[in-house]
Amino acid sequence: MLFDNILIYFVLIPMLMLAGVALCRNIKQIRAVAVVGSTALIALSVYLVADFLKAPVETAVDGMYHYSSWKWFTAQGLNINLTVGVDGVSVAMLLLSSIILFTGSFASWTIAQPKAFFLWLILLSIGVFGFFITIDLFAMFMFYEVALIPMYLLIGVWGSGNKNYSAMKLTLMLMGGSAFLMLGLIGIYYHSSADGHYTWNLLEIARNNAISTGWQYFLFPMTFVGFGVLGAMFPFHTWSPDGHASAPTAVSMLHAGVLMKLGGYGCFRVAMYLMPEAANDLAWIFLILTGISVVYGAFSACVQTDLKYINAYSSVSHCGLVLFAILMLNTTAMTGAVMQMLSHGLMTALFFALIGMIYGRTHTRDITKMGGMMKIMPYLAVCYVIAGMASLGLPGLSGFVAEMTIFVGSFQQGMADYLAGGGSLRLVFTIIACCSIVITAVYILRVVGKLLFGPVQDKHHLELTDATWWERLSTATLIVCVAAIGCFPNFFEHLIRGTFNPELFRAIAMNF
Amino acid sequence: METSAILILAIPLLMFLFLGLAGKYLPHKWAGILGTCGMGVTMVLAYTVAFEYFFSGNSFFINEAGDRLQHVVFNHDWLNFYDKLTIRLGFLLDPISAMMLVVITTISFMVHLYSNGYMRDHHGVWETGFQRFYAFLSLFSFSMLGLVVATNIFQMYIFWELVGASSYLLIGFYYTKPSAVSASKKAFIVTRFADLGFLIGILVLSFYVGLYSEGNITDAFTFTSLTSVPVDGLTDTFSVSEGTAQVIRDLFQNSAAPMFMGASVLTWALVLIFMGGMGKSAMMPLHIWLPDAMEGPTPVSALIHAATMVVAGVYLVARLFPLYLMAPAALDIITVVGAITALYAAMVACAQIDIKRVLAFSTISQIAFMMVSLGVTRLDHSVALGHEVHEGLGYMASMFHLFTHAMFKALLFLGAGALIHAIGSNDYTAMHGLRKYMPITHITFLIGCLAIAGIIPFAGFFSKDEILTACFGHSTVWAIWMAVVAGLTAFYMFRLYFLIFWWKEHKVHDEHHAPHDQPWTMTLPLVILAVVSIFAGFVPFGSLVTWNGHPITGSGFLTNLENLNWSVAALSLIIAIVGIMVAMKMYKKENELPAKMRNALPRLWDWCHHRFYWDELYMFITHRIIFGLVCRPIAWFDRHIIDGTMDAFAAVTNKVSYAIRGFQSGNVHMYVWCYLAGAVLLAVITMICVL
Amino acid sequence: MDYSQFLFMKQEIALLVVFLLVFFYDTFASKKALNALSGITCVLFGIYTVASFLPCVTGANATAFSGMYETSPIIAMIKNVLNVGVLIVLIQSVNWANNESTSVRRGEFYELLLVTLFGMYLMISARHFLLFIIGLESASLPLAAMVAFDKKRYESHEASIKYILTAVFSSAILMMGLSFVYGLSGSLYFSQVGGAIAAASSPMLICALAFVIAGVGFKLSLVPFHLWTADVYQGAPTPVTSYLSVISKGSAAFAFLVIMVQCFSAVYAQAWEWMLYALIILTITVGNLFAIRQRNMKRFLAFSSVSQAGYIMLGIIAMNAMGLAAMVYYILVYVFSNLAAFGVIQAIENNTGKVDMDDYRGLSKTNPKLSFAMMLAMFSLAGIPPFAGFFSKFFIFTSAINQGSIAIYVLVLIALINTIISLYYYLLVVKAMYISDEKPAIETFKSSFTDRLGLIVTVAGIILLGVVSVVYNHILTLAEHSSLF
Amino acid sequence: MELNALYYLIPSLIMFACGVYGFITRRNMIAMLISLELMLNSVDMNFVVFNRFLFPNQMEGMFFTLFAIAIAAAETALAIAIVVNVYRANNDIDVRDICKMKF
């Protein structure tokens, strides 16, 4: 029965929210629905985490808990099932998504046309949650696209600046990525088994292990690039600066906080999990690309003057680090990658929330036109400093543990390759990636110095007010989460580690 | 023991959280009192812990042979990288950490107390953000304590970053002042750059330890084991499990073998780690942030940029000293860097106007002393001017100097703070002849100067003398070099002293605005520190703090005097006195001599005054090269090339769609033409292909 | 001869009955009673549509007249799909049919429409080229009259003349091809033709193929045989346009598949696989490229339907049950999506007479419901989940790749890249309605009951057809049991 | 001499070609319709000839021809009607003048 499985409720609750919002009369009711729903989702995901930690291993199917599968389009020749199941990473991602949705709905407390806005926002979140709970290629792809398309209207209608251009560009580029992805997935389907009983089910495909190396060389780039576009991989990242710059606050939060994670998640969950040989043989190409985007994003962030552009580029750099670490094919590094996803998700959401709040008051995002915010709106300014510290990897906040894990893992891998005569590519790019911590410090402190400190640039800013209670709530929540990851990393590490154990993840096993 | 250990870390942290969150609802007075009391408690706890460690004779801390042991009070898993490697947070007690506990808490408490007076103006109006100031102070104390009691290199790195951050916050305390903001930014980024080296060094070490160890390499990273390496012949006296000791032995026997660019990876790792130390301890060429850091409130300068944080680099090297002993090349590098920095800083200090900057450069030069004395430490039996030198003397001397220097430099800074608070300006041209008006400040400042100049029996004399001895033991050249620097030190310190308190009478416009001694909250710390800097020299360090726990001297009150190497002592004394004489000749009374000298060597003066143009060089590199030649081009490339290509796709599609619109001409003939052509072409092409 | 064979043609006969009833009512009813005509037609046809889903209709599986005529569940299904489409068209057209200019002739409209539908039935069921041609012609000639239905509008005449000239030309070409086929195989029965053409690819055969493909491609409006499409769609009265764009296209596609599979499957690899590749790439690409620039909604949808035809063709490439099912399903979804779009266009045209995309600016502010329906239609056409269009696209691609060659991967990749272009212009409409900030050109109006009914049906279809998998599963099972392969 | 199929097919092909040529070149719609008739008739001829010469023992081609003729008639009738319509609309029947809708 469908509703016996807890995971279904991650899609069901948003659907109910959708219905609820549709029935709402005024903004108060809409807020109520949004808050109640997202709180329920948080509760659900927290329960899931707790349940996951104590669930006995036998209940898992290839490391997937709450596994179950229902027939969907299952006439012969096309057996599409709706298969759900979660492991540590998905659980963590679900938690992240629900938190961001919660804070996001607070951040858009006074949005115009609330009804339509929340309808689209919730539709987007349906896509996100669905993507994280399903392990069936078709369903994953469907939810993936469900999550993409609302961006167009959310940016187009509620956005600011050059919104038409940005919205169209973002949608088309992401859809372009998903075009390649679709071909890759169908290709995987038709090579999913040796005996003609093709399947879309991730686990079965992995078990069959029937994709010939030659086909992997063709399908791996398709899928990896397909997801990589959403992961802001160089050179397919250019949607991100414009898109984020024009998007309304909550959308930037959800998009940078959660949606970009879909890219990284898909990269290892589909591309690398199913096609280990190609993952090992072709890793170097994408290592170069992602390694570039790590420093490239950081460097270009150094000279931007628009707050959102700065964060967009820093997202390019951080998400580049995620993909980079995933490509290390090393348990530690990949664990770090997922922690980086969590950390980046939270702190980027925090950043965009704060930027939105500041922009809502000053009506400019140009840091040369602002200054001394610490004096004017101390609460927001302090939050901004904390976010910045998290972003440049201050211990005790989430950024540090993620980056440290990644660097240790990648360095181990790089040295191992180097000594094994496997070339020094990984080593060199690890060191290059390490340099990004300095560059990050440069641009973060540049912003903090220009925006928060120093004399007040514009006299009109002096009568601006500090954060309202809902803004305080949403930012405080995020800060608490960031600090939680930073102070108790082992908890999350245990959550995530299981996914990347070499017995389950053949790509890693091969790499040893 | 454990509880007090935990409390030592917990109290400042809680104080930070409390003052940071609730501070702004507290009245200023209470915030200050609360912070000070908290620090006081911490200090007491630290004293008890240190006392227990050194003097209780507990078998945890000292074995039958009288060797001091390393004791891990507690150690908890924090982050697990992989089955072999885990970061732990813990509390390590050994001679240097105990010593540092004392130093940090003492100075920190003094500063907390002092700030109650300093952070308000003459009419008793509090600085804005007074509570924030105390919160940051607590944060810094917490991080610094965590750093010194680190049980392993990762924990050290973690707190290393934290002290950096809190120093950033404190330097930028006056955040409305652009100069302060840029100074804090500079400090953070420069040290961050250095930490990059530290990080990579750690990574290298971690990899090789992992490579050559069967078991769990977590232990291999605790200092207890890293520092317990048996070095040629000497058996390890620190208590570690044989297994981890084995790991370390393997590490150094094997990974010393793989060479990279002519040096063993171990050397590389240690040099990279030392790079981190250079950043924090402001060694050349990474020293540029420290002088600017004086933008922070003076108590902060006293605490962070004179006594505690800046010596973290020295502390790091001391921590890993047994490893450095295995890579003499690294030690030589340390020596050279230290020696050059010492001379450079001393020369620059002679030509500064701003008294805090003078003190800053003197700090740099003194820390360089410590570095050098670590760098010249070898275990081979050596002789200095006829007297034989204990092996590992330099290590002891360096720690000793760290201790004494912390005291008298804090004293000097707080004194300077008092002056600045009274005069309201940083440069001595506004002071001159203050001795009558501020007697207490005058005396204490004088004591500080004597101590740093190394006049017997003040603290500086003993430590500096030991350092010089160690230098002579290693190489005469460096010894002479450092002796000269010592002379310079005496000179510029007394130049400063005379220029502030003598030179010419202070003009007072009206009586009740005359500068005067500050409230007790500010003078009391001065007095205390002055007393300490008189007597600190007699602490029998040789029996307390040595690199491997072997006491090298007795523990009597006069040991230091008895064990003096009188030839070296005489030399250093003579040099110091000469320096002071010259300074007195030039600056006691207003005269033409300084101007004459300046005109005699204009180039030298300029270079010293402008700190050899290092800042300009850095400005050039960062702005012209990094920003101008890297960032902007990349940003341009991204907008115009990468993004341009994406837009080009769209543009081309549109162009094409306009280009082919002619087919839809609306004319039936055209349609039929196309139809026919299509059908025929289809047929013809297929025929060509198939037949 | 055994006249009971006629009983196999249940749907045809039923349709004929409906036609006759409408015809007689139209002829003998009084002037006043005629106002009810539209209603009566809708009701009658509705009854028939519902009835033809009965198992006794869909269950039949037989050939009649010594194999000239065939019916089978899947064939009944495609006919039902067309019925549904026609029903929606009828409902949507009520308003238009009752306005003063057309009301006098509304009877003819319905009769012609039903006749063409009859012709399409024959096309679909024909297993003999004679029957096929008869069906084709009776499906296309009355359309010319329907296109010319708006006496007052000049475009209507221009469209119809363009249509009739090119249509006759293409049927001449088609018949030429058929004569070659006859010459080669000595028979016009599909089965015998298929038997006779055994892998022997002579120039004559290839000419025949090219001509046949061209002839049917005309009705499917494959590039380069599509040039009439845009003008006719634009010129014709909107109900006729929607009828053209979905119904006749759907029937032609199915008939095309039947011919290709039954007659020419032997020379698939040598001859026409590559022809279709070329045509599909051309059709999709050119259709999209033309659609980008269009401002007139009907013309815009004309080009979009051109590229959609390209996607439908992918179902034929597969040459298996999956492809067949995917195609039928695609047609079904396409019927709903496209008719939703046309429904909105009609509603607006009837109320304001505006058909320009620029007039749609800010429509969401004045007529939110209409613009919502339009947006869903656009998303479905663009293949955005969770709307039906996504599923149909996904399945048609999957079935195409089933064929397995590298070439098909390339083909599908090109098709996929084209979906991005199509997404672009579909989003242009959404942008006009939702994003652009100009003041609305169309003020709020209340659309009539029938318009709303039509839209509700189509929107429901768009939302449900995909996610609810029974429809596709049913079609696929039918396709597997069809005798085609 | 003995007549074989080619003697009939070639002329019919020529006829077809003429029809196509005429259809493409003539501007007058009536003329175009005439050319269309030519094409259709050549098709009919093809059928008859194939039937007569290749498959004499059955009549399919003949029947097809009959229907084709009927269809052609219907087409022409309809076309003429529409042409008249067009003529009413803009007083000439030059095909090049009816290209209001384009691009």
What pLDDT shows up at residue B404?
92
Q: For chain B, what is the largest distance between any 2 Cα atoms, rounded to a whole number of angstroms?
A: 119
Q: What is the pLDDT of residues B166-181, one digit of tens each?
A: 999 999 898 888 899 9
CB–CB contact A187 C401 (8 Å): yes
CB half-sphere exposure, C195, CA atoms < 13 A:
6
Say which range, A204-208, A377-381, B502-506, C35-39, has the weakest mean pLDDT: B502-506
Q: How confident is the model at residue C442 (pLDDT cuts 50, 70, 90)?
A: confident
Q: How far is B181 from chain A (nearest CA, A)?
A: 6
Residues A252 and A351 in one domain: no
Q: What residues contact residue A500 under an 8 Å CB cut-off, 6+ apart?
A: A331, A334, A335, A508
All residues of chain D having their beta carbon less than 8 Å from the beta carbon of residue B671 are none
Q: Residue A140 has which token pair?
A: 């994953």
What pLDDT shows up at residue B500?
84
Please name the member of D24, D32, D100 whose beta carbon is closest to the beta carbon of B666. D100
Which run of H or of E encompasses A22? helix A8-23
Give the three-class secondary structure for D28.
strand
Q: What is the pLDDT of residues B370-407, one digit of tens each?
A: 999 988 888 777 777 667 777 778 888 899 999 999 99
Q: How confident is the model at residue B251 (pLDDT cuts 50, 70, 90)?
A: low
Give the three-class secondary structure for C220.
helix
**Mean pLDDT of the B362-372 span:** 92
Q: How far is C213 from chain A (nearest CA, A)?
A: 28
What pLDDT shows up at residue B240?
45
CB B363 within 8 A of CB B313: no
CB pairs under 8 A between B and D: 27
Residues A147 and A250 in one domain: yes
CB C389 within 8 A of CB C459: no
C-alpha span between B465 and C207 (Å, rounded): 108
Give the three-class secondary structure for C356.
strand
Query: Where do we find the tokens 């349940």?
Result: A51
CB–CB contact D74 C144 (8 Å): no
Backbone angles phi, psi at B75, to 5 degrees: -160, 110
All residues of chain A having their beta carbon less than 8 Å from the beta carbon of residue B77 are 490
Please name the member of A239, A374, A408 whose beta carbon is closest to the beta carbon of B81. A408
All residues of chain A having their beta carbon less than 8 Å from the beta carbon of residue C476 are 73, 75-78
What pLDDT shows up at residue C460?
96
Which of D17, B688, D20, B661 lies closest to C275, judged by CA?
A: B688
**Mean pLDDT of the B447-464 span:** 88
Query: Where do we find the tokens 């450092």?
Result: B482
**pLDDT at residue B241 greater than cutoff 70:** no
All residues of chain C having their beta carbon less than 8 Å from the beta carbon of residue B679 are 173, 210-211, 213-214, 225
**pLDDT at residue B243 greater than cutoff 70:** no
- Neighbors of chain B by Cβ distance (3+ pairs < 8 Å): A, C, D
Q: What residues contact residue B444 under an 8 Å CB cut-off, 6+ apart?
A: B411, B415, B526, B527, B529, B530
Q: Which of 49-68 (C) contact A at CB < 8 A? A: none
CB–CB contact B672 D99 (8 Å): no
Q: Is the peptide bond before B285 cis (omega within 30 degrees of 0)?
A: yes
C-alpha span between C425 and C407 (Å, rounded): 28
Which run of H or of E encompasses A85? strand A80-86
Q: How far is B45 from chain A (nearest CA, A)?
A: 25
Residues of chain A with pLDDT under 50: none
Q: What is the pLDDT of residues C304-342, one digit of tens each?
A: 999 999 999 999 988 888 899 999 999 999 999 999 999
Residues A32 and A167 in one domain: yes
Q: What is the pLDDT of residues C164-198, one digit of tens each?
A: 999 999 999 999 999 999 999 889 999 999 888 87
How much of chain B exceeds pLDDT 70, in percent?
Answer: 92
Residues A248 and A298 in one domain: no
What pLDDT shows up at residue B230?
53
Q: How confident is the model at residue B554 (pLDDT cuts 50, 70, 90)?
A: confident
Query: Where do we find the tokens 């030659």?
Result: A214
Q: Residue A257 has which token pair?
A: 């906080």
CB–CB contact C186 D98 (8 Å): no
How much of chain C exceeds pLDDT 70, in percent?
Answer: 99
CB–CB contact B79 A411 (8 Å): no
Apex A309 CA angle, A303 and A311, nearest 5: 100
Say which range, A88-97, B290-299, D11-20, has the weakest mean pLDDT: B290-299
Using CA atoms of C137, C142, C144, C147 in order, give the dihedral in degrees to the nearest 10. -140
C-alpha span between C240 and C236 (Å, rounded): 6
C-alpha span between A90 and A268 (Å, rounded): 12
Domain count, chain A: 2
- A228 lies in some domain: no
DSSP-assigned letter for residue A72: E
Please name the member of D20, D95, D103 whose beta carbon is closest to the beta carbon of B668. D95
Q: How far is B649 from chain D (nearest CA, A)?
A: 22
Q: What is the pLDDT of residues B2-37, one digit of tens each?
A: 889 999 999 999 999 999 888 888 888 888 899 999
Q: Residue A135 has which token pair?
A: 């392990």
Which of A392, A357, A352 lies closest to A376, judged by CA?
A: A357
Apex C452 CA angle, C450 and C456, nearest 5: 120
* Dihedral angle sign, alpha carbons of residues C19, C20, C26, C32: negative
Which of C462, C443, C457 lies closest to C92, judged by CA?
A: C457
CB B670 within 8 A of CB C227: yes
Residue-range definition of the domain harbouring residue A506: 282-512
Q: How far is C179 from chain D (nearest CA, A)?
A: 6
Q: How confident is the model at residue D46 (pLDDT cuts 50, 70, 90)?
A: very high
Residues A18 and A100 in one domain: yes
CB–CB contact B690 C201 (8 Å): yes
Q: How far is C276 from chain B (nearest CA, A)?
A: 10
Q: Which of 362-401 (A) contact B at CB < 8 A? A: 372, 374-375, 389, 392-396, 400-401
CB–CB contact C292 B653 (8 Å): yes
Q: How many CB atoms lie within 10 A of CB B590?
A: 13
Which run of H or of E encompasses B251? helix B242-255
Interchain touch A–D (≥3 Cβ pairs closer than 8 Å): no
Q: How many CB atoms lie within 10 A of CB B22?
A: 12
C-alpha span between A145 and A182 (Å, rounded): 10
Q: Residue B233 has which token pair?
A: 């012949």
Q: How far is D2 from chain B (nearest CA, A)?
A: 32
**pLDDT at residue B233 greater than cutoff 50:** no
What pLDDT shows up at residue C305?
95
Q: How many CB atoms lie within 10 A of CB D32?
A: 26
Apex B550 CA angle, B461 and B255, nearest 5: 105
Q: How many CB atoms lie within 10 A of CB B314?
A: 28
CB–CB contact A449 B182 (8 Å): yes
Q: What residues contact residue B512 under an 8 Å CB cut-off, 6+ apart?
A: none
CB–CB contact C431 A164 (8 Å): yes
Q: What residues contact residue C33 under an 8 Å CB cut-off, 6+ apart?
A: C25
Q: What residues contact residue B415 under an 8 Å CB cut-off, 6+ apart?
A: B441, B444, B445, B448, B526
pTM: 0.93
CB–CB contact C290 B657 (8 Å): yes
**Mean pLDDT of the C436-451 span:** 88
Query: Would you list the domain boundaries of chain D?
Result: 6-97
Q: How far is C152 from chain A (nearest CA, A)?
A: 40
Residues A461 and A319 in one domain: yes
DSSP-assigned letter for residue C402: T
CB–CB contact B176 A453 (8 Å): yes
* Dihedral angle sign, alpha carbons of residues B254, B260, B262, B263: negative
All residues of chain B having their beta carbon less than 8 Å from the beta carbon of residue D23 are 672
Which of A258, A273, A400 lies closest to A340, judged by CA?
A: A400
Backbone angles phi, psi at B643, to 5 degrees: -60, -40
How much of chain C exceeds pLDDT 90, in percent?
Answer: 71
**Mean pLDDT of the C116-142 span:** 94
Residues A253 and A291 in one domain: no
Q: How many CB atoms lie within 10 A of CB C199?
A: 10
Residues A251 and A353 in one domain: no
Query: Where do we find the tokens 């297994």?
Result: B243
C-alpha span between A374 and A451 (Å, rounded): 8
- The amino acid occupying position C45 is F
Q: For chain C, what is the largest distance between any 2 Cα atoms, rounded to a whole number of angstroms?
A: 70
What pLDDT shows up at residue B235?
44
Please name the member of C133, C173, C183 whose beta carbon is closest to the beta carbon of D50. C183
Please check whether residue C133 touches D, CB under 8 A: yes
DSSP-assigned letter for residue A498: G
Select from 3.40.50.300, 1.10.10.10, 1.10.287.3510, 3.40.1010.10 the CATH code of D6-97. 1.10.287.3510
CB–CB contact B627 A302 (8 Å): yes
**Mean pLDDT of the D43-71 span:** 92
Interface test mutation site (partner B, options D96, D100, D101, max chain B beta carbons within 10 A): D96
What pLDDT shows up at residue C156?
92
Please check whether residue A77 touches C, CB under 8 A: yes
Query: Would you list the domain boundaries of chain C?
Result: 3-480
CB–CB contact B669 D24 (8 Å): yes
Radius of gyration in angstroms for the set of CA atoms belonging to chain D, rounded to a whole number:
17
**pLDDT at residue B138 greater than cutoff 50:** yes
Please name the member of D19, D51, D98 whose beta carbon is closest to the beta carbon of C161. D98
CB–CB contact D101 C145 (8 Å): no
C-alpha span between B35 and B108 (Å, rounded): 11
DSSP-assigned letter for residue B557: T
Q: What residues contact residue C84 under an 8 Å CB cut-off, 6+ apart?
A: C49, C332, C335
Q: Residue B97 has which token pair?
A: 């950490």
Backbone angles phi, psi at B286, to 5 degrees: -100, 25
What pLDDT shows up at residue B229?
57
Say which range, A283-297, B547-561, C200-214, C470-484, has the weakest mean pLDDT: B547-561
**Helix, strand, coil share (%) of chain A residues, nearest 5:** 75, 5, 20
- Write the Ramachandran bin of C287: left for phi over 0, alpha for psi from -120 to 50, otherwise beta: alpha
Q: What residues contact residue A233 under an 8 Å CB cut-off, 6+ apart?
A: A225, A263, A286, A289, A290, A293, A319, A320, A323
Taking all residues of chain C, what is their mean pLDDT, rounded to a whole number? 91
Backbone angles phi, psi at D3, to 5 degrees: -85, 125
- Neighbors of chain D by Cβ distance (3+ pairs < 8 Å): B, C
Q: How confident is the model at residue B264 (pLDDT cuts 50, 70, 90)?
A: confident
CB half-sphere exposure, B259, CA atoms < 13 A:
3
Which run of H or of E encompasses B263? strand B263-264
C-alpha span between B429 and C41 (Å, rounded): 107
Give the three-class secondary structure for B53.
helix
Decide: residue B497, CB within 10 A, 0-12 exposed, 13-18 middle, 19+ buried. buried
Interface test mutation site (partner B, options D99, D100, D101, max chain B beta carbons within 10 A): D99
What pLDDT shows up at residue B239?
42
Q: How far is B25 from chain C (nearest CA, A)?
A: 47
Task: Tell me the C-alpha to C-alpha distance, in Å, between residue C381 and each of A170, B61, C308, C451.
Answer: 20, 79, 8, 20
What pLDDT shows up at residue C179?
94
- A199 lies in some domain: no
Residue in C closest to D72 by C-alpha = C168
What pLDDT shows up at residue B127?
81
Q: How confident is the model at residue C429 (pLDDT cuts 50, 70, 90)?
A: very high
- A169 lies in some domain: yes
**pLDDT at residue B431 greater than cutoff 80:** no
Q: Which CB contacts under 8 angstroms, 24+ apart, belong to B589-594?
A: B589/B502, B589/B503, B589/B504, B590/B503, B590/B504
CB–CB contact A73 C473 (8 Å): yes
